[in-house]
């Protein structure tokens, strides 16, 4: 904005100070030269050593987890028993004269009892710290028991729901 009556005169280049030039009488800062140190010895790589070989669980010693093995065998026998369950049901229903629903209830009760025994043995085998060999049998048996019980309960609930709907 200019005021009327005051003429504006352009500034001459000699009057304007450039922004990039250092002021007069200013000297550049002097930095200290870093001191030289004695050369540091380079770290030597360690001598080659063979890596320790991992030992297999059976080589470590210890006792065999018998409880887990027994639980796994019980589950195997139960699976084979399920294979022959129709023949067992037929024999009880026709030859002895029991009702099919009673035969099915007896078979379910036997299966639950066997699963509880196998589950108790598997749990004891998992918790047993003094027998590390074949511990996987106890863990696998425990998982199989849990899945079997879930399947049985799901089937029971499904049967109840179907009876309620129809």
Cβ atoms 91, 84 nearer than 8 A: no
Q: Is residue 28 part of a domain?
A: no
Residue-averaged pLDDT of the chain: 81
Number of independent structural domains in the chain: 1
What is the predicted pLDDT for the residue at 56? Answer: 56
Q: Above pLDDT 70, what percent of the chain?
A: 77
User: E-strand spans in the chain?
Assistant: none
Q: Above pLDDT 90, what percent of the chain?
A: 38
Q: Is residue 87 part of a domain?
A: yes
Query: What pLDDT digit, counting tens, does each position of 95-154 carry?
Result: 888 888 888 888 889 999 999 999 999 999 999 988 899 999 999 999 999 999 999 999
Q: Taking Cα atoms as reference points, which of 154, 152, 55 lies closest to residue 113?
A: 152
Cβ atoms 118, 74 nearer than 8 A: yes
- Which residue range(s) make up the domain with 157? 62-165
What is the predicted pLDDT for the residue at 8? Answer: 60
Q: Taking Cα atoms as reference points, which of 156, 153, 138 lies closest to residue 66?
A: 138
- pLDDT band at residue 41 under the 50/70/90 scheme: confident
Helix/strand/coil for 133: strand
pTM beyond cutoff 0.75: no
Q: Is residue 8 part of a domain?
A: no
What would the mean pLDDT of 44-70 be, rounded to a whole number?
73
Q: Is residue 78 part of a domain?
A: yes
Q: Is residue 17 part of a domain?
A: no
Q: Is residue 156 part of a domain?
A: yes
Find all residues with CB under 8 Å of 146, minimum gap 6, and list them.
119
Which residue would you say has higher pLDDT here, 107 or 22?
Answer: 107
Q: Is residue 84 part of a domain?
A: yes
Q: Is residue 98 part of a domain?
A: yes
């Amino acid at each position: 904005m200019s005021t009327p009556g005051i003429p504006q005169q352009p500034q001459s280049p000699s009057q304007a100070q450039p922004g990039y030039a250092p002021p007069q009488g200013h000297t550049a800062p002097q930095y200290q030269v870093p001191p030289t140190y004695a050369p540091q010895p380079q770290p030597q790589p360690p001598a080659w050593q063979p890596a320790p070989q991992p030992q297999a669980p059976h080589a470590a010693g210890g006792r065999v987890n018998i409880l887990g093995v027994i639980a796994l065998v019980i589950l195997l026998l139960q699976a084979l028993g399920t294979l022959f369950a129709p023949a067992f049901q037929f024999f009880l229903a026709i030859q002895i004269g029991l009702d099919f629903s009673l035969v099915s209830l007896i078979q379910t009760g036997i299966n639950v009892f066997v699963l509880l025994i196998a589950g108790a043995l598997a749990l004891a085998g998992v918790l047993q710290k003094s027998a590390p060999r074949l511990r996987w049998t106890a863990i696998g048996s425990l998982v199989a028991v849990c899945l079997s019980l879930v399947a049985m309960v799901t089937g029971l609930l499904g049967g109840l729901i179907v009876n309620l709907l129809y």
